[in-house]
Amino acid sequence: MAYGSYIRPSVLFALLALFLASCSTSRPFHVNISLCPAISVAKYANTLTHFNKGPRRNIGSVNYTAQIQGVTENCTHDEQWVTTRLKVEVGSRRMSALGNRIVTIPVFVAMTRNNAEVLSKQIHQVPLSFKSGEIRGRGVFEVPVRLSYAAALEAAPDVSAMREKTKEGDEDEGITASLKPSVYEIVVGIQLSAEDVRYNLTF
């Protein structure tokens, strides 16, 4: 599943309640809870601009740029852990195509709670290779991120009042909705210096 925006649970609950009110009992509505954390890319930490040595930091002194280009996920769980396996793609563009070159981009993967508390953080050094004559490089890495099953279950929204049991022998099993709690979130970004962050905020 590709990362992207998600609907807040409170908004989704309201929409589901309206839908349920209009459903007949002959077509029960089933709600399945997803225990998987949300995925996002940090807004001001998704790009890095590396400058040539010197006093100036402007477009004319750019050495190369790097960017988080994609994050995909595969989430599974057992009785102990909710495991999200991430695949992160990083792309880069250099200003000069001369010679073979490798640049290394530090990328962090953090588990957060309530959009504030950082529970864990990993930093991965991602090598990007440029062949002579090419200005674009690309690197991919994969990493598992685990959350305890008990913590994920506790954070899941309570929708027991919205569930309807399928009548025995009913061929129509109804509709399934997946609700993703936003208490836990995996955030991906480039590990930046304070100066890099200020540059991203400016441009």
Residues 29-46 pLDDT 10s: 455 567 899 999 999 999
Residues 40-81 pLDDT 10s: 999 999 999 999 987 777 788 999 999 999 999 999 999 999
Asked if residue 15 has pLDDT above 50, the reply is no
**187 vs 166: which has the higher pLDDT:** 187
Asked if residue 180 has pLDDT above 80, the reply is no
- Domain tally, the chain: 1
Counts for the chain of helices (H) and strands (E), in that order: 3, 10
Task: Report strand pairing: 81-94 vs 136-148.
Answer: antiparallel
Q: How far apart are CA 17 and CA 190, in angstroms?
A: 40
**54 vs 182: which has the higher pLDDT:** 54
- pLDDT at residue 31 in the model: 53
Flag whether 144 is in a domain.
yes
Give mean pLDDT, residues 165-188: 59
Q: How far apart are CA 136 and CA 146, in angstroms?
A: 33
Flag whether 34 is in a domain.
yes
Dihedral angle over CA of 26, 17, 181, 192, nearest 10: 130
3-state secondary structure of 99: coil
186: exposed, middle or buried (Cβ count in 10 Å: 0-12, 13-18, 19+): buried
Structural domain boundaries, residue 150: 9-202
- pLDDT at residue 80 in the model: 95
Flag whether 4 is in a domain.
no
Give mean pLDDT, residues 103-111: 97
Could you tell me the CATH number of the domain that includes residue 41? 2.60.40.10
- pLDDT at residue 203 in the model: 76
109: exposed, middle or buried (Cβ count in 10 Å: 0-12, 13-18, 19+): buried
Give mean pLDDT, residues 170-174: 45
Asked if residue 117 has pLDDT above 60, the reply is yes
Flag whether 3 is in a domain.
no
- pLDDT at residue 182 in the model: 67
Task: Report strand pairing: 175-179 vs 29-33.
Answer: parallel
- Which residues 6+ apart lie within 8 Å of 161 measured at CB? none
Q: Worst-scoring range by mean pLDDT, 48-57, 72-81, 118-127, 142-151?
A: 48-57
Flag whether 1 is in a domain.
no
Give mean pLDDT, residues 186-202: 94
Structure tokens at 90: 């990083």
Structure tokens at 88: 């992160």
